Amino acid sequence: MPLINMPDFAGTLLDEFAARATERVDTPVIQPAEPFLDMAGEDLRRRIFMTENERGASLCLRPEFTIPVCLRHIETATGTPKRYAYLGEVFRQRRDGANEFYQAGIEDLGDTGIASADARAIGDAHAILGRLLPGRTLVVTLGDQAVFEAVVKALGLPAGWQKRLIQAFGNPEQIDQLLKKLASPNPVQGLDPDIVAMVSSGNERALIARIDETMQATGYSTNASRSPVEIAMRLKEKLELAETRLDGAALLLLREFLSLELPLSEASAALAGFADAAGLRLGPALSRFDERVAALANIGLDLSRINYRAAFGRPLDYYTGLVYEIGIAGEPAVLAGGGRFDRLLTLLGAENHIPAVGFSLWLDRIETARTAR
């Protein structure tokens, strides 16, 4: 039995989903916790409600729908392309105090027309909100994690630093802390100088032997979760990350990119100009960005009313490209949010690559906006 009431506009939502050739799907409220802990990101991990079954397996109350819908698609071996719609309760600690609320949305799986699928997702979310909130001015904020990744890679940072920065995308405070570390690297403290010398000289054989000898002497090897080789590789990566310094010009470029904010109608030219001036090769990422802009224009959305922010991301680790949110002009509440998650289904166990994009609607916030109107 639901603990909160279904919004009175739920029937309208279901009509909208049906008109968009979606299949209504539901998923169990109790979910395996591992996929959310591994793939959803730190922000969601610390806000989910955990429990265990009688065998000690970690479970959780459903904190969102994207992962459960993808798991169900894999388990039922349904072909693609496939459009799923959902409407139901989710459970997680939210900053506004709500722990249980309704979400609805669409997950678009397997459409290889990436730009058109992205545009359709934004267009559907925008149109549904327009019907639920007639007369209100909707504002779309759009980012692109793939463009950020291309900039980071073009700067030539070590893979470990690229991973750190990409995982922090959309978190301005965390990005700023990482950039400060890149500006003024701090050496790792407390390491044996001989170990540091072996790592610095690239003498991996001697390093592995030294670690093995230490593990044998301390008895740690009998229950170690990592082998001497794995520990040596981790030490090497740790020292490399600690000693990496990005020169001032490159740091300025990265900060300049993250400061870009302008109407989407001007974004393609601005990104191309940035790449040319910086001497960075961002070709494929910019091409995909331009294709999406064209697709949005083709479905009739006003590009001057969509705000592109280069630093904008959403706090879920599984996003890979487009990310966006929709709200009402002048109001802080996010009413809809979504993006592209092309790697998620493979990570969840799908045998073949399945491109995917979708969005969620926060029904309690929409209800508040309707009541206020």
Q: Which CATH architecture best describes the domain 10-150+271-372?
A: 2-Layer Sandwich (3.30)
pLDDT at 238: 63
3-state helix, strand, coil in the chain (%, to 5): 50, 20, 35
Contact 244, 157 (CB under 8 A): yes
- 3-state SS assignment for residue 112: coil
pLDDT at 200: 64
Q: How far apart are CA 231 and CA 212, in angstroms?
A: 10
The terminus-to-terminus CA distance of the chain in angstroms comes to 30
Q: What is the helix (H) or strand (E) element at residue 270, kind and residue range? A: helix 264-278
Residues comprising the binding site? 64-66, 92, 103, 107, 314, 318-319
CA-based nearest residue to 237, from 226, 250, 248 = 226
Q: What is the helix (H) or strand (E) element at residue 77, kind and residue range? A: none
pLDDT at 235: 66
Contact 103, 88 (CB under 8 A): yes
Contact 89, 102 (CB under 8 A): yes
The contacts of residue 95 (CB under 8 Å, 6+ apart) are none
pLDDT at 315: 80
Contact 187, 322 (CB under 8 A): no
Tokens of 362: 């926060």
Residues comprising the binding site for L-histidine? 64-66, 92, 103, 107, 314, 318-319
The contacts of residue 372 (CB under 8 Å, 6+ apart) are none
pLDDT at 119: 98
Contact 331, 139 (CB under 8 A): no
Q: In this predicted model, what pLDDT tens digit does every residue of 232-241 receive, in sequence order?
A: 776 666 666 6
Amino acid at 67: I
Q: In this predicted model, what pLDDT tens digit does every residue of 157-176 receive, in sequence order?
A: 878 788 888 988 988 898 99
Tally DSSP H helices, then E strands, for the chain.
16, 12
Domain ranges of the chain: 10-150+271-372, 193-243
Residue 71: CA count within 13 A, CB half-sphere: 16
Residue numbers in the chain where pLDDT is lower than 70: 1-3, 97, 185-197, 199-203, 219-226, 234-245, 373
pTM score: 0.84
Q: How far apart are CA 53 and CA 60, in angstroms?
A: 10
